[in-house]
Structure formats: C-alpha cells, structure tokens
Amino acid sequence: MAMRSFGGHRLFKGNGVRLRRFAGGYVVNFDHEVSGFEGAWATDLLGDGLARIAPGTINRFAAKIGKALLTDTPPPLLNFGKAKLASDGRGWICAEVTCDPARQWQIIDLQIVQVADPDHDEDESRNAATSVNSIGGARPLANHRARAPLAMLRKRDGGGIDVFQIAYFDLQHSVALYPDHTPQRHFFW
Amino acid sequence: MKAGAYPNNPLSGRPLFSDPVFQLHPGKGARLARVGRQNLIRAVPREPGWLHPWTVTPLFEPKDAAALKPGEADSEWRAYIEPGFVNGREAFIKMPPAWPPGRKQAPGEEPRDVALTDEQPPYLVIDGFRNPLSAGGIVEKENGDFVVAAGEGYPKFFETLGVKRPARGGDLLDATSFDSPQDDQRTRQIRACDIVLTHPRMGSHVDFQQVQVPLTQPAELIGSPVFDSSFALATGGRSRLRATAHFQTSPVDSLDALFLTLTGTQTPQFDELKIATIWFISPPEALDDAIPDGTWEAYVQHSVFWNLNHATKVAPPTEAADPVHFFLPLAGGAGQLAIDLSLFVVNELISELTSLLNAADTNGYFWSI
C-alpha cells in the first residue's frame, strides 16, 4: 500500500483508493463501482402500472404471470394498471400459491399478483379479529390459496410510488392444518 | 496528549485538522465523514449501494435547537435503520409528537409510530449505554461462595484498536477483581447498546377452576387455555424497534415461560429479537466514567441481515377444546396410598398437563426469508 506522511500522521491507500495532492491538501478518490444486489423476486416499477419481477420459485415451482413463466424470453411484465392500495397508501406484489388438498396441499399454480392486502381478498369482508394477523404465517384464502409478500409499494404524497423489496431468495412452502384438515396457516421460508 | 486535543503539525505549529496542508477533500466516488478529532476520517462511496434490511447507521447529530432545554447536550447519538419487514410489513419507531422539527403538534398529542419506509425516515435516540468493561456484579457459586463476575467483554476485533481489558472478576475480597487490568497500550473505553425488534402476537394462559365436591370424592381441577390478541389489535400488529442498554430475554422454551402459562399469568403478547449491537469506542485515555459523544466512533455488529417472518407455536382452535380435568387425591380417604403409589396415575396427570400447556403455548419464532 502506498503511504503519504505528513506532520506525524500517515495516510494509507487501500484497494481502489487514489490520493491526489494539491496546494489545499489531498483529494481522496474511489475507483470502485457501486455494486448492488439482485436476488430472486427483485421488483422494478416501470411506470404506467407495469412491473418487472426477477424469476423465483416456491418449492421449486416456477412463478408465472398469467401463463408466461418469469424465466421466459422476453420475460413477462406484471400489468397491474392502477395500483391496488390500502387506505394507508400501501400495496404489495405477492407470489400467490394455489394448493391441491387432494395432493398433500402441493402447489399447483404460482402467480405474481398486485394486491392491497396479502392476507385478504379485495371482496372479503373484515372485522376487528381478522384485520390483524396475531398468530403469524400467511392467512389461508379462498380456493386453497395463500400469498407470500415479495415487495411492498408505498404511495408518496407527490403521487409517485416507491417499491421496497421484501423477499430476495427462492422460498419453501408448507401448510398447517386444523384437526378437520382445513388450512390453519401457510408458512413461507 | 490529552484525550480530544487536536494534534499540531510540527512544521507549521497549527492544529492538523485546520492546517490546509492536511485537508482531505472528497473526490470521485468518495464522501468524507469526519468523526471526532482523531484519525477517524472515513471515506464512503457517494452512492451507498445496496444495504441489507435492518442495516443500522449510527450518527452523532445536533438536536433541534428550538427544542433544547437549558443544560441539555446539543447533540446526541442516533441510529438510522434501513427498512426491514416482518411478515411483509415494515417496522416502526415511536417518535415524539414534535418530530420532525417544525411539525405542529396537537395539544396532548402522544408519541406516534413512524414507519421505516416514510420519506423522512425516523431514528432511534441512543441515550442508554452499558459498560462491557465493568465487573458483572456479585454472583454465588454452586459451593455457596460469592465471587465477582468478570466484565462482559467485547469482540476480539476491538483489542487491536486499543480498548481496555474488561474487569477480570474473581475473589470478592480482592479489590482488583473489580478493575480493568492496567495496560499502557490499551487505554480506550468501550460502551454498547442493543437495537431490539418487538413484534406483537397472540398471548395465552391456562385458566384453572376448582370444582367444589364432597369430601368423600376426589377434588377436581379444570384447566382450559385462554387466548388473547388485545395487544396485537391495539397496536395494529406493528413491529417496533427500540434501543436499550442491554437486551436480555429468556428462551421461548424456558422453565420461566412455561411457569407463566401454568400459573395462569398472561404470557407476554409479543416476541423480541436483537437486531444489532452498537459498540462505541472512545479516543485514547478516556475517563472510566466517560459517556459516548462526538469524539467516539461507533461500530455496528448486526445479528439480522434479511427480512423476517414470525409465527406463534400454536394457533387457537376453531372450536373451544374440552377442558382438561385433573382429579386430586382423596382427602385422607381410602385408596390414597394406592393412588400415591400408582405411577400410571402420576404419568397420566403429567401427560395431560403437558398437553394442556403445549396447547396454550403461543410463544413465537422468527425466521429469515
């Protein structure tokens, strides 16, 4: 490592660092490119109600938008139009699993959807007891479905929408059942 | 050299940090964060790049001048936290009604929850620190002797920075048991605080009722689990972050937790998880009772790097379960001896009690996704 020494203090240059001296002192430059991280399910908003979601799997079952796999070329885009948002301006991009109770609740379909609430369907009525999920897991939905949040949408005062990534890796899924074999909770990990 | 004093440029005689020859300027891809007066200049990329969920960034920042009270320090340590999610929902921090500065607060307004995803992100004020160098108190050994517990200590990394050794502990009658061993090469103080996530959930307890029966018949105790989501409903199910000097908790499956359920005491309606520990390192030769200020440097030790899911061990049944009946031995009646000797009866009771406790165990678990 190259070193500058002055007044009893020493500066050590690390990897990717350049020191340039001038009359006013030293300028510190970095050569490193800013690196990001894009895992599975990475969500980008493209404007006009369109989103691109990186491929991902649940129990190795590949996700789709409609009939198109996320791994298709070109990859499909999620066209959700006007974002469905809750009263607090939040919405979610979710992976929605459909399971088959006759086949040990195996996943038979995996769709990417945009919803206002991962734990409730739009037309579902709520009460105080069901509005908050106090036992965790994913709440079972009608027709043997459940949703894993992948990204959260947040509407800003200026009207724009920001996206916050939640899931970064392929997931596993399982269902906990009541004694009468109805679904109690869905787990994603 | 006194702690906190500016070193001088021996050539010019001026303090180094005001000497133009020594000035450091940020160039391409760099941002200089000058912390303290020692060799604590950090260069970070202009664009921070990707930060993992729950990334903690401690900063020493000035307070709102308009809200300062006489005698109050004008700056404080704050922890900014990158948005993190539990079950797909972001965590919140409770902020005072007068935040952000300039906000008009309603009369009697309480502190309110502010989401980590808000455009003006909230922060935790770090005003409580623990001292890992201090002796851990007086403890009793198995043989009944009392000894001084050693200091908590810190990660080995900080030894290379010249942090003092923790108190070694030992004999209660030896005064040096409470002190840090002297080392002229290691004169820096260290303090710590923990960032903790609290997630509300359903709570539970077991309701026991004793049935009054004639003396000639066995007494009967009826136990049934009771579930309560009042806290989760009141908080809207929001996870919250807080800063605390030292986070300690009993394991979920500990005897303490089961005892609470057994005695009918409500189990807490939340679970907690340590997100990170912030270690504060002083300049050399800081005083033993020094409190972290702008001359100290902060290092974050993260415990969580990804978003989380959470669930309770059990979910309440859809229909109320039949209560469990415990028949206590006859009060001085015949058959008492036979009942006492019957291991089968005892095992049955234990098995039923264990099942009852497990059916009411709503302690929860976190896992990362």
* pLDDT value at A41 more than 80: yes
Residues of chain B found within 8 Å of residue A152, distances taken between Cβ atoms: 85, 88-90, 117
> Closest partner residue to A135 among B23, B90, B202, by Cβ?
B202
Residues of chain B found within 8 Å of residue A27, distances taken between Cβ atoms: 24-27
Closest-CA distance, A69 to chain B, in angstroms, reads 22
Please state, for a pLDDT cut of 90, what percent of chain A lies above it.
Answer: 67
* pLDDT value at B292 more than 80: yes
Residue with more model confidence, B155 or B100: B155
Residue B126's closest CA among B69, B83, B84, B80? Answer: B80
Chain A, nearest residue to B32 by Cα? A28
Task: Dig out the tokens for A99 from the structure.
Answer: 């399971």
pLDDT band for B37, please (50, 70, 90 cuts): very low
CB contact under 8 Å between A17 and B43, yes or no, is yes
Q: Are B324 and B352 in contact (CB under 8 A)?
A: yes
pLDDT band for B35, please (50, 70, 90 cuts): very low
Q: What is the DSSP string of B101-112?
A: TTPPPPTTPPPE
A47-68: pLDDT as tens digits: 879 999 999 999 999 999 999 9
CB contact under 8 Å between B9 and A171, yes or no, is no
B312-344: pLDDT as tens digits: 988 887 766 666 666 665 544 555 555 555 666
* pLDDT value at A7 more than 90: no
Report the distance separating Cα B360 and Cα B227, nearest Å.
8
Chain A, nearest residue to B228 by Cα? A134
CB contact under 8 Å between B201 and A134, yes or no, is yes
Report the distance separating Cα A18 and Cα A26, nearest Å.
10
The A residues from 37 to 56 touching B (CB cutoff 8 Å) are 37
The B residues from 62 to 91 touching A (CB cutoff 8 Å) are 83, 85, 87-90
Closest-CA distance, A149 to chain B, in angstroms, reads 5
Chain A, nearest residue to B28 by Cα? A29
CB contact under 8 Å between A178 and B362, yes or no, is no
Closest-CA distance, B361 to chain A, in angstroms, reads 11
Give the pLDDT score at B40.
43
CB contact under 8 Å between B16 and A7, yes or no, is yes
Between CA A66 and CA A136, with CA A84 as vertex, the angle to 5 degrees is 85
Report the distance separating Cα A165 and Cα A64, nearest Å.
18
Query: Is some CB atom of chain A closer than 8 A to the CB atom of B172?
Result: no
Between CA B95 and CA B100, with CA B97 as vertex, the angle to 5 degrees is 70
Q: Provide mean pLDDT across the span A126-146.
A: 85
CB contact under 8 Å between A164 and B117, yes or no, is yes
Q: Are B117 and A154 in contact (CB under 8 A)?
A: yes
Q: Count contacts between A and B (CB, < 8 Å).
A: 153
Residue A41's closest CA among B45, B258, B85? Answer: B85
Residues of chain B found within 8 Å of residue A44, distances taken between Cβ atoms: none
> In this predicted complex, what is the ipTM?
0.83
The A residues from 84 to 143 touching B (CB cutoff 8 Å) are 92, 118, 128-129, 131-137
Q: Are A160 and B335 in contact (CB under 8 A)?
A: no
Q: Provide mean pLDDT across the span B31-42.
A: 49
